[in-house]
Amino acid sequence: MKTSLSRRLFRTFFAIGLINVAVTLIVIESVYDDMEDSILQHELVLERAFLVQHISGAQVQSRDTALLTTLYVPDGESATELPEVFRNRPVPFSAEVEMADKTYLISIERTAEPPGVLYLAQDITLLESREAALRTGWGAFALLALGVVALLTRIGTRRILGPLDDLTRHIARLQPGSPVARIDTRYEDLELADIAATLNQLLDALDAYVQREKSLVSLASHELRTPVAVISGALDVLAQRNSLSDADRRTVARIRRAADEMHADVDSLLKLARRSGDSDQPEDVDLADSVRAVVAELEDGAPQQAGRIICSLSKSAPVVRADPTLVRMLLRNLVQNAVRHTSGKVHIELGASSIGISDAGAGLPEHIRSRLNAPAGRLVPEDGLGLFIVRLICERLGWLLRVRRSDAGGTVLDLLFLPDAARHARA
């Protein structure tokens, strides 16, 4: 599953910030704890040394201050009653102990001279409460630091990806077939400036390619139309002489049909080769009239095919806003292809939002069906001009071509009008 670059950058930067905050807190906590333990232990050592120096006599001695409780019990003597903080403690003993609502640092050790046991308990309740308050402050600081990290990460991510988003939007606005503005290369970041410069070089190459293609189309317009016109003119001369036998007339008729088809294909290609639809002349097109005109044209060109095309037209003839020339080219190619590939009937069914063309042929090969159902823009003329022209016209009109069925029982093709192309049926 793909994720956006901005999210990955944000997560990475935020994780780095989170790790830094966590490490900082751990280091501060460990340093503070170590410093606290060292200070307290050092204080107790000093207190112990002072008390040992001031022990007098071989009797039980005790001394209490605001934060320190001490008791000396010489060997051979016993305290009448040990303070609660020292009771049931082994000798030696050193630990931090919580009793009721107070915390004590207790140290119990034997003394060498004079021999006995020295008990010390330092009240560190105030220190512990301040430490708890300090930990709360550290937690608040950590939350604040994470908020700042998140904010700076968001700002940094936008600063890094902002120019890239601008570049992406500029590229998305590029439209094939129209004058393409070059991308501004004045980026602060060297890498983005290099990408923009590289894309501009690519656009220059594409423009040169398109110009060569247009030049080729213009040349083909002249080079292809002229021979077809010569052939048609020669056929007219032969017909005017009226000196041909019946067999020659049939041959001439075949030549004329081929010349007419070539002329129609050349016109189709030249019109579709103009990439934009600016040259189209949309108007209200009655599809029933278009179907009748195409059928009449095909039957006039091949009288032996008369009666093979069966039309089923709805009472409410659909009317679409489109270029009538493109509509006739599309219908002519589809119907003519169906007639060529079957010896049976060809049915044309005109509905409110579709045109169905069915035949009883052997069906389309799998590779042709897959290309007909492929997304727009992925078709190349590998199987003749007919299929190529059909797809190009469908893309130009904004219609959908769908192979509903194609097997040994024949082929059924549907032309579907998209919502933005279809109009209400005319009664």
In order, the DSSP letters of 59-88 are S-EEEE-SSEEEEEEETT---SS--TTTTT
Look at the alpha carbons of 348, 349, 352, 355 in this order and tell me if their dihedral is positive or negative: negative
The torsion angles phi and psi of 98, rounded to 5 degrees, stand at -105, 130
Q: Is the pLDDT of residue 71 over 70?
A: yes
Buried-state track 328-340, b at ≥16 Cβ within 10 A, e below 16: bbbbbbbbbbbbe
Mean pLDDT of 102-116: 87
* Whether 89 contacts 106, CB under 8 Å: yes
- CATH 3.30.470.10 is right for the domain spanning 280-417: no
Smallest CA-to-CA distance from 138 within 279, 39, 303, 22 is with 22
What percent of the chain has a predicted confidence (pLDDT) above 70?
Answer: 85
pLDDT band at 424 (very low <50, low <70, confident <90, very high): very low
pLDDT band at 154 (very low <50, low <70, confident <90, very high): confident
Q: What pLDDT, on a 0 to 100 scale, did the predictor assign at position 278?
A: 53
Mean pLDDT of 220-224: 70
Length of the chain in residues, anyone? Answer: 427
Helix axes 246-273, 190-241, angle to 10 degrees: 160
Alpha-carbon Rg of the chain, whole angstroms?
48
Q: Is the pLDDT of residue 205 over 80?
A: yes
Q: Which helix (H) or strand (E) holds 371?
A: helix 366-372
pLDDT band at 401 (very low <50, low <70, confident <90, very high): confident
Smallest CA-to-CA distance from 51 within 137, 102, 113 is with 113
* Whether 357 contacts 338, CB under 8 Å: yes
Mean pLDDT of 118-133: 86
Mean pLDDT of 156-168: 79
Q: What pLDDT, on a 0 to 100 scale, did the predictor assign at position 422?
A: 47
d(CA 421, CA 117): 104
What percent of the chain has a predicted confidence (pLDDT) above 90?
Answer: 1
Q: What pLDDT, on a 0 to 100 scale, did the predictor assign at position 348?
A: 92
pLDDT band at 426 (very low <50, low <70, confident <90, very high): very low
**Pseudo-torsion of CA 101, 104, 110, 115, nearest 10°?**
-80
Q: Is the pLDDT of residue 235 over 60?
A: yes
Mean pLDDT of 322-329: 85
pLDDT band at 229 (very low <50, low <70, confident <90, very high): confident
Residues 266-306 have pLDDT tens digits of 776 676 666 555 556 788 888 888 888 888 888 877 777 77
Mean pLDDT of 196-214: 80
Q: Is the pLDDT of residue 427 over 50?
A: no
d(CA 67, CA 87): 18
Identify the residue with better confidence: 377 or 124.
Answer: 124
Q: Is the pLDDT of residue 247 over 80?
A: yes
* Whether 68 contacts 120, CB under 8 Å: yes
Q: Is the pLDDT of residue 377 over 80?
A: no
CATH architecture of 186-279: Orthogonal Bundle (1.10)
Q: What pLDDT, on a 0 to 100 scale, did the predictor assign at position 425?
A: 40
Q: What pLDDT, on a 0 to 100 scale, did the predictor assign at position 421?
A: 47
Q: Could you state, in order of their start, the residue ranges of all structural domains in the chain?
A: 5-148, 186-279, 280-417
Mean pLDDT of 3-21: 83
d(CA 41, CA 87): 21
